[in-house]
Structure 1
Amino acid sequence: MSEATAVTGLAPIEDLGGKAQPLLRVDGLTKHFPVRGGLFGARKTVRAVDDVSFAIGKGETVGIVGESGCGKSTTARLLMHLMERDAGEIIFDGRQVGHEMSLRELRRGMQMVFQDSYASLNPRLTIEESIAFGPKVHGMADGASRELARELLGKVGLRPEIFANRYPHEISGGQRQRVNIARALALSPRLVILDEAVSALDKSVEAQVLNLLMDLKREFGLTYLFISHDLNVINYISDRVLVMYLGEVVELGPVEQVWAKPAHPYTRALLAAMPSSDPDKRTEVPPLSGDPPNPIDPPSGCRFHTRCPFAEAPCSNVAPRLTELDTMGHQAACHMAIAGSGHSQAPAV
């Protein structure tokens, strides 16, 4: 019996494909929101997530970064089926969600921790009741689910004799986020999505929660999809990083490689904007100017070309596809990185 099963008392989702098969594969994920605009109320669409594809290996932590409005949180909500997708396939350990795998099964195998720790909890339930709620819905007896809740409180560093009978308003933001993590673990998930889970915490508490997440990952054999605007956090916790811009993936690869040799100008701009404690490395010139284009009417070709200092004719005419740059899994959607793209800085074919 695994450590996770011993703690939760719920049988884990069966591993069908072995280590080599990705735990999660997303193909062509798309979500457009209809809006009304103009003098006559013409219907238009906001392209929040536009043909996004990626995979997450078992035991891996993949980080998603990008400016506000780039589609990070919408992607997470589509994966959790908190909103309906317009197109695309979600495959969890070889089983297509909606056909071979029910939503109930998916929710057992995939859980989410949200940014707002207070809004995520029912103010009328005690901490113990909040954690025990999910297992009870899935058939666990009341007494067993409450015992499980107390065990998980201990796992996330909260003494159950002190915190079990408190209400969300009686504990701090960092403690509430620990409760949300415990609640996510109550169903023995294999994948946990963390959407800006530490961004509302002060730095000392943020570091404690990040270390807790890494300890829990090792103990329970978890896989993480970690969404954050903080590149230092992504660098610390992630194995691979996925960079999004205006609803599209523009770069993907091992975090060390992307940090050392970013292939997309947008990724370079994000890294250049990172604050440094070294006074000799202060950012004096803005690495990126202008606002992101309107997602209702995105630019043709590369969506970044209106803000890119290296833009040339191919950038405005042809949309670059995410292309393998090496054998290490580093990919980028930039004409400068794609051989034979027609850009003056592109490598030779």
Structure 2
Amino acid sequence: MPGPNPIPSFGKVLVVGGCGFLGAHIVSLILKRHPQSQVAVLDLRTTSNRHASPSVSYHDGDITDASAMQALFTQIKPDVVFHTASPHFDAPSKIHDKVNVEGTDILIKAAQDSGVKAFVYTSSASLVIDASMTVVNADETWPLITGAAQPEYYTTTKAFAETAVLAANRTPSSFLTCAIRPSGIFGEGDVQLLPPMLSACRKGQNKFQVGANTNLSDFTYVENVVYGHLLAAQALLQTHAMLPTIPLDSERVDGEPFFITNGQPVYFWDFARAVWHAAGDRKTLRDIWVLDRDFAMAVGTILENACWLLGKKPNINRKQVRYSTMDRYYNIDKARKRLGYAPLVSLDEGIKRGVEALLEKERREGEKKAQ
């Protein structure tokens, strides 16, 4: 099992999706904590989030192109693969199928054929959410929800991909896999959580709250998610070094999924207000209008239909209402015990860093436009 000191090198590492939000942070933390590693980044386009380090190489490629992936894996011969690539949540269903399911199958085959030792897949905590939209202290024994029972088709395809990754464990016996299930990732470079919240604040939507704010949610600072990935890779490599010995079930990492969060469930609107406060908002609870959930759902339905006719995007929709009023938090005891995981950065500090980075990015972009 992982010790207190990280191994100095992962050997040759391939970060799939390494120019994306999470992938780029994985590259950063590998360079910091495992500096003797050689890192290759694979992405559809490798023009953003690049690291100016002689230890990092960049490779443009499509994970749905089987022959290209076989050639790349043969060239790099990675010891460790981090598979973070995934289409945008709102992409068409056929794209989710092609990238999340077909692309993952292609990567697994290329990894098996090229002698990869450790394969860490970035899954999703949403795999256990069903139509009830209630997740309270969920752990890894909860069943995966797919098909008609799963509210989001994207999540169904992530579940299929995770299942394929874990089923491939020890096929061959030297190929070890696991899955990391993060919840609500945010931080520097985030494009899906902090920017929309900041935009809502600037539109004056921060004076509204949907529901009574009694629902707990897990949000996870990106460096903590990355740390979970690196601990998983370290554990798989240590298990690989002990082959053919198989760890006890209570200690095993290979073939297993792990929820990774900040371990600090927070009321949803408290998180939003913390983000707004970090951005300079100083509204008090006296300034907030509380909207009944059912009323907000009705408004969301009307706005969705009206904006669809006009070809516009509504300021509020039913999905936003559901996710801002549901309980969604997870138990990370398994990651604590088997990976030795503990969050590196608190929720408050993560919010501070993420918002500061976003405001700085906006400042730089504003200066460029002004020139």
**TM-score w.r.t. length of structure 2:** 0.28
**TM-score w.r.t. length of structure 1:** 0.30
User: Which of the pair is proportionally richer in strand?
Assistant: 1
